[in-house]
Amino acid sequence: MKYNFDEVVNRIGTASYKWDGVKLIFQDSDVLPMWVADMDFKIAKPITDAIRKRAEHEIYGYTVVPDSLVEATIDRLKRKYNWDVKPEWLVFTPGVVPALYTAVKTFASPGDSVLVQEPVYYPFFHAIRDNGAHVVSSDLKLVNGHYEIDFEDLEKKFLPKPGLTPTPARVRAMIMSNPHNPVGRVFNRKELEKIGEIVLRHGAVMISDEIHCEIVYKGHKHIPFATISKEFQENSITCMSASKTFNLAGLETSVIIIPNERIRARFIEAKGRILSTPNAFGLVAMEAAFRYGDEWLSQLLEYLEENINFLMDFVKKRIPNVKVIRPEGTYLAWLDFRELGLDEHELSEFLRKKAKVGLDDGYIFGESGKGFARLNFATPRVILEEGLRRIEKAVKEITGVF
């Protein structure tokens, strides 16, 4: 079946956080929303068919995870990553973010530290701080338009800083975003090996957020952290979902893969106190996506890569004051506005009030995100072009260069 990703679908009036929430979030109904990470594309027909069939039953009570979904998940992980996963390793949750809260609560007591790599997905900060732990960051380095890991700094950040009163407890866990949100890196095997060795050496647990794992572009390959070695597998929690790949975020269903029995038991104990089960439609949609979504996905990836090329070319030729970090994965572009000389609040005001585009402010991803903004390009090209034209016009007005 041929899917039309150029089709503009009116999402207003559907309780869309992205579109119906514009006035509330940006205080201006004329702002074009290009921020939150969901796509403006219709989902794959087999998923829609499966949801309709479930809806026809007309009873939507509490759920259990069906064996068929467990089988579909195991089969997909084997086909995609040659990862042999056992059924008991799988824990299904209503979304990855609640699972991150549970994972932090499981392994970090109040006063402990959890390490991240800024700029990074900002709910990581909330999951850590809301559990009473400290955020420690080993910032990614931007080198010639490409983000790299500072392994020397990463090693140092696992050690407590002398002289602080009180001294924060050691790092109990690291939360990694791979593919990385917002900078779009897809870490390679060598990088993952070095990260994992450092985490093991310091007795910490790896919490690997791999929710964007199937949105990866040509020349790059996603490698689940847990597949690198037996030691990594036994020392990790892997968070995955069909939500980003198949545009199902509103159905809030994720799978958490925990091979280590002791770690899994602790996670499930914490989960039982603070998490409910996924909803009936989320379970059905995830299974249909994993079994029958690849035709849609292959066409989506082609379209997204064309959007990347369009975005890169447009900005290079028409907004040279702005730089784009080319994403290796995700459908999120990290835009560098630092040449405009605006501080983080001035940049936010400029984008919202002058350009009339709703992007995610870079500073919410950490200190190293100041001067940047995140743009969601998973939208029909006509909308992407409109957003870029608005930015172009506003930049030219502020710089006086036409």
Residues 139, 277, single domain; the answer is yes
| pLDDT (tens digit per residue) in 110-123 | 999 999 999 999 99
Q: Domain for residue 89, yes or no?
A: yes
Print the domain residue range for 369: 22-44+294-397
Structural contact between residues 187 and 180, judged by C-beta atoms closer than 8 angstroms: yes
pLDDT average per 10 residues of sequence, the chain (402 residues): 97 97 94 97 98 97 96 98 98 96 94 97 97 96 96 92 58 97 98 98 97 98 98 98 98 98 95 83 98 98 98 97 98 98 97 98 98 98 98 93 68
CA 95, CA 110: separation in Å to the nearest integer? 24
| Number of domains composing the chain | 2
* DSSP letter for each residue of 325-339: E--SBSSEEEEE-GG
Report the pLDDT value the prediction gives residue 165, as an integer from 0 to 100.
44
Q: What's residue 161's pLDDT?
A: 64
Domain C-terminal end among 276, 291, 306:
291
**Residue 393 counted as domain residue:** yes
- DSSP string over 221-287: ----GGGS-HHHHTTEEEEEESHHHHT-GGG--EEEE---HHHHHHHHHHHHHH--PPPHHHHHHHH
The owner of tokens 């999951």 is 127
Are 275 and 298 within one domain?
no
pTM, two decimals, is 0.95
In a domain, 274, yes or no: yes
**Residue 2 in domain:** no
β-strand 171-177 against 113-116: which pairing, if any?
A: parallel
Residue with tokens 């799978």: 255
CATH number, position 174:
3.40.640.10
| Beta strands 360-361; 372-376: pairing state | antiparallel
Residues 86 and 118 in one domain: yes
**Res 163: pLDDT:** 53
Domain boundary among 291, 315, 339: 291
User: Which of 245, 267, 291 corresponds to the end of one domain?
Assistant: 291
